[in-house]
Amino acid sequence: MSRRLAAALRPAAAIGCALAAMAIALALLGASPLAVAADLADGAFGNWIAFTDTLARATPLVFCGLAVAVAFHGALWNIGADGQLVVGALAAGALGPALAGAPHTLAIVAIIGAGGLAGALWGGLAGWLRARRNVNEVISTIMLNFIAAQLLSWAVHGPLMEPSGAFPASRKIAAAARLHLYFAPTRLNLAMLFAVALAAVCELGLFRTVPGFELRALGRNRRASAFFGLPIARLTVGAMALSGALAGCGGAVQISAITHRLYETISPGWGYEAIAVALVARLSPLGVVPAALLFGALDNGSQAMQRADGVPAQLVYVVQALVIIVMLAFDAAAGGGWRELLEGGAPDRPDATAETCDA
């Protein structure tokens, strides 16, 4: 088997191993693994409504997964996609009611743009702290997640609270700013297409443009990047801002297409789940789409599974975690890829082994 094919099959093998481990656990619990799997699949893909719901659940994961993948390529460990999504949603929810009377297209561009801009500022702030003050972005983005969550909570209990004051939620956004549900009552909308288009743009940007190349070089060898005069500070701020913008767009799309208003619980932790999505996708932007679909399907199918088999829905989180662990183990065994990127830079290879690798 060729090396590349083996690498491409590794995520599938990891998912298979995780599911097998799960099946054993289920059997030990006395449930039938096959029945559980069937109910899980039925809940995720069994009918048109279930399928479109899976798509709707996967959409924010695509946005956040892209955010994580882009930043990780530059060895910028953005753990803050959740906060960036929240501020994106917050901006969209704040602007949305004011867009009444605007042309539909303009309103959509405005509401998603506002979300992207807010996310870019949130992510860019962490990037700026990293570039100027050498603040570890893992810590700053986690802290910014907390701040974003509190900001949202304050907004829906305070300035943005709906007029009756009965619920901690904002007013509905203007009809003009809502992405249509084309097949009501399903939640199918244009957002998923938008997300796939963004994935393609990210793929091209990372692998076909100079800034994308520079970001990948920076992520893999910071010292060499300095030696060759790459604009490290600009790349750091830019990549974090772009990453935040992607997550922020995801938040805005969620408001525009699904909820139409802000709630305190707008994100069930998509930004964190997205880290797993990006890892399963091996940081490939196009790979984020199927990975997000998988995680969306697991999330969506878990309810049906719980109803039908009495197995707790939380079990799918165990599956998701197992996928990551098995995949990292596979990668470590294959000796490369992830491990090198995670450890930052290349280890000094002894010439004794390197000397013999060429033709």
Partner 1 sequence: MLETRSISRRFGRTLALDRVDFQARPGEIHALIGENGAGKSTLVSIIAGRLAADSGQVLLDGAALRAGVSAAALRRARIAAVYQSPMLFERMTWEENLALGGFGAGASPRELDAVAARARQIAAASGFDLPPPRALVADCSVAERVRLEIVRALSFEPRVLILDEPTSLLAPAELKIFLDALGRLRAAGRIVVLVTHKLAEALAVADRITVMRRGRVVATMPAADTGEAELARLMIGALPGAPARPPRDPDPAAAPALALAGVTLVREGRRVLDEISLTVRPGEIVGLAGVDGNGQAELVEAIAGAVKLDSGGIAPAPGGASVAVIPQHRDRDGLVLEMTLWENLLLAAPLRARLAPRGFIASRAARRFCAGLLDRFAIRAAAGSACAAGALSGGNRQRLGVARALAGAPRVIVAHDICRGLDLGAAAQVRRGLAEFAAAGGAVLLISTDLDELLECCGRLLVIVRGRVREAPAADRDPERLGLLMAGAAA
Q: Which tokens belong to 343?
A: 């450890």
Between 47 and 209, CB nearer to partner 1? 209
CB distance 246 to 67 below 8 Å: yes
Which residues are registered as beta bridge partners of 90?
A: none
Which helix (H) or strand (E) segment is 277 a member of? helix 270-280
Number of C-alpha atoms within 13 angstroms, CB side, residue 274? 37
Contact 209, 97 (CB under 8 A): no
Closer residue to partner 1 in complex, CB, 98/341: 341
CB of 354 to partner 1, least distance (A): 5
Q: Could you tell me how far CA 155 lies from the centroid of its own chain? A: 24
Measured from the CB atom, is 27 or 346 closer to partner 1?
346
In the range 11-70, which residues lie near partner 1 by CB under 8 A?
Answer: none
Which one, 290 or 345, has the nearer CB to partner 1? 345
Q: What minimum distance in Å lies between the beta carbon of 216 and partner 1?
A: 7
The only residue of 226, 329, 333, 342 in contact with partner 1, by rule CB under 8 A: 226
Among 133, 227, 314, 335, binds partner 1 (CB under 8 A): 227
Radius of gyration of the chain (CA): 21
3-state SS class at 101: coil
Give the one residue of 30, 101, 229, 335 binding partner 1; rule: CB under 8 A: 229
Size of the site for partner 1 (CB under 8 A): 35
**Which range of residues in 19-27, 32-40, 181-189, 207-215 is near partner 1 by CB under 8 A?**
207-215
* Cβ atoms < 10 Å from Cβ of 112: 26
Non-local (6+) Cβ contacts of 234 within 8 A are 131
Which tokens belong to 71? 């930043």
Distance CA 80, CA 83 (A): 5
Position 5 contacts partner 1 (CB under 8 A): no
CA atoms within 13 A on the CB side of 74: 32
CB 150 → partner 1: shortest distance, Å? 36
Nearest Cα residue to 278 out of 202, 188, 197: 202
Question: Based on CB atoms, which residue is closest to partner 1, 158 or 229?
Answer: 229
**Contacts to partner 1 from residues 314-353, by CB under 8 A:** 336, 340-341, 345-346, 348-353
Query: Which of these ranges, 47-55, 77-85, 218-226, 320-328, lies near partner 1 under the rule CB under 8 A?
Result: 218-226
- Residue 213 as a binder of partner 1 (CB under 8 A): the answer is yes
Give 219 or 251: the residue with its C-beta nearer to partner 1.
219
In the complex, the residues that contact partner 1 under the rule CB under 8 A are 207-211, 213, 216-217, 220-221, 223-230, 336, 340-341, 345-346, 348-359
